[in-house]
Amino acid sequence: MSRVQIVLACLACLASLTAPAAAQDPQAKTVVTVVASFSILADLVRNVGGERIAVSALVGPDGDAHVYEPTPADSKRIAAATLVVVNGLGYEGWIDRLVAASGSKAPVVVASAGVTPRAGEGGHGHAAEDPHAWQSAANAKRYVANIRDALIRIDPPGRDLYAANAAAYLARLDALDAEIRQSLATIPAERRRVITGHDAFGYFGDAYGIAFLSPQGVSTEAEPSARDLARLITQIRAEKISAVFLENVIDPRLVRQIARETGVRIGGTLVSDALTGPGGLAPTYVALMRHNAHTLRAALSD
Give the binding range for other proteins (CB under 8 A) out of 3-11, 28-36, 112-120, 264-272. 3-11
SS3 letters for 136-187? CHHHHHHHHHHHHHHHHHHCHHHHHHHHHHHHHHHHHHHHHHHHHHHHHHCC
Q: Does 301 bind other proteins (CB under 8 A)?
A: no
CB of 167 to other proteins, least distance (A): 34
CB of 163 to other proteins, least distance (A): 36
The DSSP element (H or E) to which 53 belongs, if any, is strand 53-59
Q: Does 260 bind other proteins (CB under 8 A)?
A: yes
Distance of CA 38 to the CA centre of its chain: 7
Report the residue from 182, 256, 265, 301 that binds other proteins according to the rule CB under 8 A.
Answer: 256
Instruction: Quote the CA–CA distance of 284 and 74 in Å, as a whole number.
Output: 22
Q: Does 126 bind other proteins (CB under 8 A)?
A: no
Q: Does 229 bind other proteins (CB under 8 A)?
A: yes
> Could you give phi then psi for residue 85, rounded to 5 degrees?
-115, 125
Instruction: Quote the CA–CA distance of 198 and 216 in Å, as a whole number.
Output: 5
Give the β-pairing of 118-119 and 108-110.
unpaired
Q: Does 261 bind other proteins (CB under 8 A)?
A: yes
Residues 154-213 that bind other proteins (CB under 8 A): none
Q: Does 116 bind other proteins (CB under 8 A)?
A: no
Give the binding range for other proteins (CB under 8 A) out of 14-22, 170-178, 277-285, 287-295. 14-22
Torsion from C-alpha of 78, 80, 83, 84, nearest 10 degrees: -10
CB of 227 to other proteins, least distance (A): 4
Q: Does 238 bind other proteins (CB under 8 A)?
A: no
Instruction: Quote the CA–CA distance of 174 and 25 in Å, as a whole number.
Output: 31
Distance of CA 123 to the CA centre of its chain: 20
Q: Does 226 bind other proteins (CB under 8 A)?
A: yes
Q: Does 266 bind other proteins (CB under 8 A)?
A: no
Instruction: Quote the CA–CA distance of 158 and 197 in Å, as a whole number.
Output: 42
Report the residue from 32, 40, 56, 68 that binds other proteins according to the rule CB under 8 A.
Answer: 68
Report the residue from 33, 56, 196, 220 that binds other proteins according to the rule CB under 8 A.
Answer: 220
Of 32, 35, 56, 45, the residue nearest 154 (C-alpha): 32
How many C-beta neighbours within 10 Å does residue 131 have?
A: 26
Residues 45-64 that bind other proteins (CB under 8 A): 62-64
The footprint of other proteins on this chain (CB under 8 A) covers a number of residues equal to 42
Q: Does 257 bind other proteins (CB under 8 A)?
A: yes
Q: Does 11 bind other proteins (CB under 8 A)?
A: yes
Interacting residues toward other proteins by CB under 8 A = 3-4, 6-7, 10-11, 13-15, 18, 62-64, 67-69, 123-124, 220, 222-230, 233-234, 249-254, 256-258, 260-261, 274
